[in-house]
């Protein structure tokens, strides 16, 4: 669940990016002096806050856009002598044996992860005097699962964000989501998913899109012929969506 098209070192992100902390979680941020809105992106399982940071360079937006890349608080093994970060731990061996299917209930630790990231997003908005309506929240894989939960929790507290991006996401706790997603009615969203994704099945992405649209959200699933990744055609569509 760690793979996106982009994985770079902090040094390659750019000199205008700095590392800080919000509510106890490390965040890479690029905040131009003219920034009026923000994009907050959450990495996938086994990656870290640098994984999506190059998107701030790959996507051509004006200087009024700030970027934030939080770091998952959990250290998790992803291979021999290799560690990554996660928003909540997963047993990879078990998932590989039975496949990834969270449609019936929330995975252990996800509820707390959503609460933690909600605090981070709130702290970012307060620190930079940003309106929640000027925030685009998104993520890749596990990060996208958290992003959707955070959007719901913020809306329940009266703080609606301006848009939601779900890269290679999946359906989580379907019965609960069908009801809770209604609080996001009217929210713009863009979802992308590879039809050949061997990590999170494309069929569950289609079901997630149906739930969101039926709840009243304004958006669509952008399919592409590929796997668990963010290819350039998706980035081009995302750029247009961000400017729309």
pTM of the predicted structure, to 2 decimals: 0.92
Positions of the chain with pLDDT under 70: 1-15, 92-100
178-217 pLDDT per residue, tens: 999 999 999 999 999 999 998 899 999 999 999 999 999 9
The pLDDT of residue 97: 52
73 in a structural domain = yes
84 in a structural domain = yes
The pLDDT of residue 7: 37
The tally of domains found in the chain comes to: 1
CATH at 74: 3.40.50.1820
Q: Are strands 37-42 and 25-30 parallel, antiparallel or unpaired?
A: unpaired
The pLDDT of residue 82: 86
Domain range for 42 is 10-243
The pLDDT of residue 122: 98
Token pair of 153 as six digits: 């929790």
Cα 56 from Cα 109, distance rounded (Å): 29
1 in a structural domain = no
């Amino acid at each position: 669940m760690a793979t996106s098209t982009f994985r770079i070192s902090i040094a390659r992100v750019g000199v205008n990016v700095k590392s800080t902390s919000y509510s106890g979680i490390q965040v890479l941020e690029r905040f131009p002096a003219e920034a009026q809105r923000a994009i907050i992106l959450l990495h996938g399982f086994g990656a870290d806050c640098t994984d999506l940071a190059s998107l701030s360079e790959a996507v051509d937006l004006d200087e009024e856009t700030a970027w934030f890349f939080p770091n998952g608080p959990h250290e998790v093994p992803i291979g021999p002598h290799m560690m990554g970060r996660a928003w909540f731990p997963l047993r990879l061996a078990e998932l590989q044996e039975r496949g990834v299917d969270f449609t019936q209930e929330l995975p252990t630790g996800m509820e707390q992860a959503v609460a933690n990231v909600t605090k981070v997003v709130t702290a970012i908005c307060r620190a930079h005097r940003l309106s929640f309506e000027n925030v685009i929240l998104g993520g890749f894989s596990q990060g996208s699962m958290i992003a959707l939960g955070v959007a719901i929790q913020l809306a329940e507290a009266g703080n609606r964000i301006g848009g939601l991006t779900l890269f290679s996401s999946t359906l989580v706790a379907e019965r609960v989501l069908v009801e809770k997603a209604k609080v996001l009615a009217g929210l713009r969203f863009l979802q992308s998913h590879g039809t050949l994704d061997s990590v999170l099945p494309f069929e569950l992405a289609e079901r997630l899109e149906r739930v969101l649209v039926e709840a009243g959200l304004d958006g669509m699933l952008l399919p592409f012929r590929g796997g668990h990744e963010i290819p350039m055609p998706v980035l081009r569509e995302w750029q247009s969506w961000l400017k729309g």
